[in-house]
Amino acid sequence: METSPLLEITNISKVYPNGVVANANVDFSLAKGEIHAIVGENGAGKSTLMKMIFGMEEPSEGEMRLNGQKVKFRSPQDAIDSGIGMVHQHFMLVPSLTVVDNMILGMEPTRGFNIHYKEAVRMTRELSARYNLAIDPLARVEDLTVGMKQKVEILKVLIRGARILILDEPTAVLTPQETEELFKQLQALKREGHTIVFISHKLKEVKAICDRITIMRAGKTEGVFETSSVSEREISRLMVGRDVVLKYDKGDRKPGRPVLQARNLIYVNAEAKRVLQDVGFTIREGEILGIAGVEGNGQSELVRALTGSLPGAEGSVTVGGESILGRSIKDIRDRGVSYIPEDRMRQGAAKDASIADNLISMFYRLKAWNRGPLLNRKKIAAFSEAQIERYKIRAKSPEQPIGMLSGGNMQKVVVARECEAAPKLLIAEQPTRGVDVGAAQLIHQRLLEMRAEGCAILLLSADLNEILEVSDSLLVLYDGQFVAYYPDASQVTEETLGFAMLGVQRQSEAEVRRAIHD
């Protein structure tokens, strides 16, 4: 494979205008028809390298050759014209437009707009059938789940004729089932001669699908390996510089009084589907309750009901005895509820605001943080510095806009903001999405600390390992109902959980109702 690279990068460096050296003398090569992984800690420079290949960022120095020819891309259009496409770590779709509108957005209209539009609908249908990327071309993007948005992004790249596909953490937002589906699609693309760059923090995936791996660390390449020649453990050691253990000593558990009590929750959506069918559960002080389920079985509605964004939900939800159902997000937060949303860019972070302002946005309401009309800048600075340190957020200073952080580091800011607000209840939805293995460990440990301090935690995750390792007790949501309750998550295997998630195995109603502790 080494003989004549399709794409070859030599000695590329990138210094951002603010002085951050994101890539330092990086060499990288891509062989035709391979699936090539890039792994590395948050902030290692993976996305930056890809943005240079895609013409979004200009290298400060270095060279790039495509098919042996020297190339210099001045814009993504240049890269697209050379057959390179990129699916970004954060979606670049316009939510208010339809799928097909997003597909053709920015494309040169070849014929009259109408025909072009119809053609795009046809092509969308054809490509989605061919690559098994089922999607309704006329659906509005804002109504799609993250998994579906991902498909739209991939289709958008394919419709532009890309032969090299760069996928920046495509699976971070996918459920295990969707990931499997994606892998089949990638394999099909590979068979048809496409070349794929695959960025992921999940080493299991990298091992499963990639031919070669380039490891990055602090802006440099640590080496290139044939995937079969390195173990997961070796890869993570090369990335992080130490062994990463994902087993936790959780110590004894003594759940206290009920904090969250949800009873008879019902939600019927606009299509008259009963999305939540009379569900109820309790989370007690010092308890981490995990909810597992295949996406689309009601968990996102459940979270929205608990966080004030599901008008029309019926039943009762109380936190510390006070009703929160139907209240505003702000009201709910004021009652001591923190929320790490699954979509950090849409609901999580204010991109142009500084790290410090993002971190303290939870505290504006607290008197202690106000000195007259002005917030106490000194106190904020000290607090922000402490969180940057604690969560190992890779940043130049607390004043840096959060939009300039790497994806995983933005996630850490959102997690820090929510966890450090001393909540009674934390709703953590995909809390380690997009963070590297070391940071995932750190976040898990923080959740366990909060649990020891008496916080009640609701954990939703598509990552079964995470949910089994971190939760004390587990509920499985299937078709809007709880079908299994496990008071002791440590006794549950991935297999058992899988069967319950697919609705193959169901407990009796009485067994499930044990999740309600009155």
Ligand X SMILES: Nc1ncnc2c1ncn2[C@@H]1O[C@H](COP(=O)(O)OP(=O)(O)OP(=O)(O)O)[C@@H](O)[C@H]1O
Binding region for ligand X (CB under 6 A): 16, 18, 20, 22, 40, 42-48, 89, 394, 404-409
Q: 232-240 vs 437-452: helix axis angle to the nearest 10?
A: 80
Binders in 367-406 for Mg ion, by CB under 5 A:
406
Would you give the binding string for Mg ion spanning residues 72-101, x where CB under 5 A is met? -----------------x------------
The torsion region of residue 43 among left (phi > 0), alpha (psi -120 to 50) and beta comes to left
Residue number, 76 or 296, with CB nearest to ligand X: 76
Residue number, 273 or 346, with CB nearest to Mg ion: 346
Name the residue number minimizing CB distance to Mg ion.
Answer: 47
The entry of Mg ion, ligand X, none near residue 42 (CB within 5 to 8 angstroms by kind) is: ligand X
Among 258, 238, 461, CA closest to 340: 461
Residue 155, SS3 per DSSP = helix
CB of 259 to ligand X, least distance (A): 32
| Cα gap 412→384, rounded to integer Å | 12
CB of 377 to ligand X, least distance (A): 23
Residue 490, SS3 per DSSP = helix
Among 175, 177, 198, CA closest to 187: 198
- The size of the interface with Mg ion (CB under 5 A), counted in residues, is 4
Residue number, 21 or 502, with CB nearest to ligand X: 21
Name the residue number minimizing CB distance to ligand X.
Answer: 408
Residue number, 13 or 406, with CB nearest to ligand X: 406
Residue number, 43 or 438, with CB nearest to ligand X: 43
| Cα gap 70→439, rounded to integer Å | 38
Would you give the binding string for Mg ion spanning residues 300-329, x where CB under 5 A is met? ------------------------------
Residue number, 22 or 457, with CB nearest to ligand X: 22
219 binds Mg ion (CB under 5 A): no
Alpha helices in 82-231 (DSSP H): 99-104, 113-130, 146-159, 176-191, 203-209
Residue number, 75 or 269, with CB nearest to ligand X: 75
| Cα gap 8→68, rounded to integer Å | 8
| Cα gap 283→425, rounded to integer Å | 9
The entry of Mg ion, ligand X, none near residue 22 (CB within 5 to 8 angstroms by kind) is: ligand X
The entry of ligand X, Mg ion, none near residue 225 (CB within 5 to 8 angstroms by kind) is: none
| Cα gap 472→515, rounded to integer Å | 12
The entry of Mg ion, ligand X, none near residue 308 (CB within 5 to 8 angstroms by kind) is: none
Would you give the binding string for Mg ion spanning residues 35-54, x where CB under 5 A is met? ------------x-------
CB of 21 to ligand X, least distance (A): 8
The entry of ligand X, Mg ion, none near residue 16 (CB within 5 to 8 angstroms by kind) is: ligand X
| Cα gap 89→171, rounded to integer Å | 10
Among 127, 130, 100, CA closest to 116: 100
Q: 146-159 vs 176-191: helix axis angle to the nearest 10?
A: 10
| Cα gap 359→380, rounded to integer Å | 9
The entry of Mg ion, ligand X, none near residue 409 (CB within 5 to 8 angstroms by kind) is: ligand X
Residue number, 165 or 279, with CB nearest to ligand X: 165
User: Would you say 280 and 262 are in contact if contact means Cβ atoms under 8 Å apart?
Assistant: yes
Residues that bind Mg ion (CB under 5 A): 47, 89, 406-407
